[in-house]
């Protein structure tokens, strides 16, 4: 509040004094001022030079007083203030205080469900189903069993991690510091960034294919990729509220599209169990394990960003309700759409038009199912929007993981990080557009490997050593204190033991470990399963000893 003056002379001085004052901390919205000049002893105000500063009259009228540098820097600061005042989210990985959370209502759960549903109600999930028969040679029974079982299991860690967001007010990779340690969390944050950039590249490629088909091939893949990337950038730039709005819009639209897709393909889906499909597939143990590794990588990697979208909920948010919302919103779309993709690919072995389109790309397969006319081109545009609903939240989280991996980036506003992330993945997508199937197979499987090192400590720490999860067991005041957080000895020991086992269980075109070679047909991928077990067995006692002897 403005100071009170008892005399007319003081009231006259009030105006000149206020002109030389600035807001100390605009973030707490209090009228705190500092004088820029002092009296010279004769009752006159000694004005300090105003060189380098301009004054915002609108801010003064609104009760806030700010200073801005002249030139480009001043315009940039003023522009950032305007963006934040008009709804652009500025907060990065610094914990969200309780008084800055949304009020909990029955409608608070809807955006959490639709966000994850829109995340996965897209063409990438359909593509994950296609590669079961196309790349791993699985028939309908084997494909469906893998899709349901591996997806249901992989969704549990994701939903659990999401429920810790309201309890701590911390982003996912910041929480990881409390179990992994400050410096190991930096490494995993960097790997998580690479993972999300890879996924965004794949989804952008699919978006480019969809827009190219929508334009009757008059638009190149590269132009389509750029258009989809720019739309996703705008949404992630604005922040979480924009992501919720687009998910509430995209999810119902894509439900209608997939119902139409199922309806149009329904008369031929019985061919998924035809003799042609049986002849084109050959179920093996290595194929089942390889597809399982791909499905695990497709779903469980969301654990590294799960609570990024739940910190706006209050701490008293019930864990069970939030768990179910995230779990069902995540797993049901993946299962249903992936099953549809597998069925369509198996039927394509009997339908010549579908088979020829599938060899070109997933977008072409869907385009052929819709008949290839004007309606099909409109559907391709909708599929591009579904890709945006996946890419925009991923850009959002990639920027946050970047701040954990490179702490210097905390000084950069969150929304500018969205620009940086887009500038990284966009050229990768353009370069990799020609080999989508092979990229998806190799990349999805590799993703599950590093999560075998990350998931066990991420689950064990809150469930065993910091139970019950709260701002007391996860003290917010040490979130960026290297000397207060765990040293990371337990996580490093677990990783040192887990990495050799993961390497031994891998089965890729460029490497097959000695354990994988002993599986039937000599290429069974068991890296995630074996690696996660070893990391769990090592981390539990190692973390107990670390806490006992270091007190962290």
* Angle between helix 319-348 and helix 240-265 axes, rounded to 10 deg: 40
At 416, which helix (H) or strand (E)? Answer: helix 414-431
Angstrom distance (rounded) from CA 118 to CA 386: 7
> Sorting pLDDT into bands at 50, 70 and 90, what band is 135?
confident
Output the furthest CA–CA distance in the chain (Å, rounded). 103
pLDDT of residue 220: 83
Query: Averaged over 24-48, what is the pLDDT?
Result: 42
Helices (H) and strands (E) in the chain, counts: 21, 6
Residue 267 in tokens: 């008369």
Tell me the percentage of the chain whose pLDDT exceeds 70: 82
What sign results for the dihedral spanned by CA atoms 429, 131, 519, 156?
positive
Place of tokens 């389509």: 224
pLDDT above 80 for 108: yes
User: What pairing do the DSSP bridges indicate for beta strands 67-69 and 507-508?
Assistant: unpaired
> Is the backbone peptide bond immediately before 307 cis, with ω within 30 degrees of 0?
no
For 387-403, the pLDDT digits (tens) are 888 899 999 999 999 99
Domain ranges of the chain: 98-446
pLDDT of residue 304: 92
Quick check: helix, strand or coil at residue 507? strand
Query: Averaged over 166-177, what is the pLDDT?
Result: 94
Of 29-33, 43-47, 255-259, the least confident: 29-33
For 65-95, the pLDDT digits (tens) are 456 666 666 666 676 777 777 667 878 899 9
Is the pLDDT higher at 533 or at 49?
533
Residue whose C-alpha is closest to residue 146's, from 156, 133, 158:
133
> Sorting pLDDT into bands at 50, 70 and 90, what band is 386?
confident
Angstrom distance (rounded) from CA 36 to CA 101: 36
* Maximum average pLDDT range among 332-336, 414-418, 436-440: 332-336
Mean pLDDT score of the chain, rounded to an integer? Answer: 83
> Sorting pLDDT into bands at 50, 70 and 90, what band is 441?
low
Residue 236 in tokens: 């992630």
Of 437-441, 480-484, 502-506, 511-515, the least confident: 437-441
Query: Averaged over 217-239, what is the pLDDT?
Result: 88
For 87-103, the pLDDT digits (tens) are 678 788 999 988 888 88
Residue 280 in tokens: 């084109």
For 344-379, the pLDDT digits (tens) are 999 999 998 999 988 888 888 999 998 877 788 888
pLDDT of residue 34: 41
pLDDT above 50 for 49: no
Tell me the percentage of the chain whose pLDDT exceeds 90: 41
Architecture of domain 98-446: Orthogonal Bundle (1.10)
> Sorting pLDDT into bands at 50, 70 and 90, what band is 520?
low
- For residue 467, the Cα-to-chain-centroid distance in whole angstroms is 26
> Sorting pLDDT into bands at 50, 70 and 90, what band is 5?
very low
Residue 214 in tokens: 């929508």
What sign results for the dihedral spanned by CA atoms 528, 530, 531, 534?
positive
Place of tokens 């579904």: 386
Of 174-178, 415-419, 534-538, the least confident: 415-419
Instruction: Confirm whether pTM is higher than 0.85.
Output: no
Cα of first residue to Cα of last residue in the chain, in angstroms, is 44
Residue 228 in tokens: 């989809």
């Amino acid at each position: 509040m403005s100071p009170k003056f008892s005399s007319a002379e003081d009231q006259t001085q009030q105006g000149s004094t206020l002109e030389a004052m600035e807001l100390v901390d605009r973030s707490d919205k209090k009228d705190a001022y500092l004088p820029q000049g002092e009296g010279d002893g004769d009752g006159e105000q000694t004005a300090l030079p105003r060189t380098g500063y301009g004054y915002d009259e609108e801010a003064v009228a609104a009760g806030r007083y700010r200073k801005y540098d002249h030139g480009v820097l001043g315009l940039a600061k003023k522009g950032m203030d305007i963006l934040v005042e008009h709804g652009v989210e500025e907060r990065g990985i610094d914990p969200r205080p309780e008084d800055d959370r949304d009020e909990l209502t029955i409608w608070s759960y809807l955006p959490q469900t639709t966000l994850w549903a829109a995340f996965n109600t897209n063409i990438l999930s359909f593509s994950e189903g296609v590669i079961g028969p196309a790349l791993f040679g699985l028939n309908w029974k084997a494909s469906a069993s893998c899709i349901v079982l591996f997806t249901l299991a992989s969704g549990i860690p994701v939903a659990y991690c999401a429920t810790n967001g309201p309890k701590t007010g911390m982003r996912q990779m910041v929480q990881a510091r409390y179990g992994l340690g400050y410096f190991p969390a930096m490494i995993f944050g960097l790997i998580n960034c690479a993972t999300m950039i890879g996924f965004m590249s794949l989804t952008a490629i699919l978006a480019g294919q969809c827009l190219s088909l929508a334009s009757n091939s008059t638009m190149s893949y590269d132009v389509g990729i750029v258009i989809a990337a720019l739309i996703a950038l705008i949404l992630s730039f604005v922040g979480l509220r924009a992501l919720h709005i687009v998910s509430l819009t995209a999810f119902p639209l894509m439900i209608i599209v997939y119902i139409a897709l199922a309806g149009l393909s329904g008369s031929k889906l019985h061919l998924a169990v035809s003799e042609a499909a049986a002849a084109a597939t050959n179920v093996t143990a290595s194929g089942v394990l390889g597809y399982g590794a791909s499905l695990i990588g497709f779903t469980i990697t969301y654990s590294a960003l799960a609570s990024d979208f739940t910190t706006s909920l209050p701490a008293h948010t019930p864990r069970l309700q939030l768990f179910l919302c995230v779990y069902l919103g995540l797993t049901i779309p993946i299962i249903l759409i992936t099953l549809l993709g597998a069925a369509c690919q198996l039927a394509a072995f009997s339908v010549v038009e579908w088979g020829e389109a599938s060899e070109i790309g997933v977008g072409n397969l869907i385009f052929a199912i819709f008949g290839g006319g004007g309606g099909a081109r409109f559907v391709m545009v909708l599929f591009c929007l579904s890709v945006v609903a996946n890419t925009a939240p991923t850009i959002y989280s990639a920027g946050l993981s970047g701040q954990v991996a490179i702490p210097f980036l905390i000084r950069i506003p969150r929304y500018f990080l969205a620009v940086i992330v887009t500038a990284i993945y966009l050229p990768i997508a353009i370069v990799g557009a020609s080999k989508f199937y092979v990229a998806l197979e190799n990349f999805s499987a590799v993703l599950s490997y590093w999560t075998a090192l990350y998931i066990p400590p991420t689950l064990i720490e809150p469930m065993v050593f910091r139970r019950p999860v709260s701002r007391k067991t996860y003290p917010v005041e040490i979130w960026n204190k290297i000397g207060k957080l765990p040293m990371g000895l337990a996580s490093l020991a677990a990783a040192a033991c887990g990495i050799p086992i993961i390497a031994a269980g891998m089965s890729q075109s460029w490497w097959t470990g000695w354990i994988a070679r002993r599986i039937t047909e000599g290429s069974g991928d068991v890296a995630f399963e074996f690696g996660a077990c070893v990391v769990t067995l090592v981390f539990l006692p190692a973390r107990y000893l670390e806490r006992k002897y270091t007190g962290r």
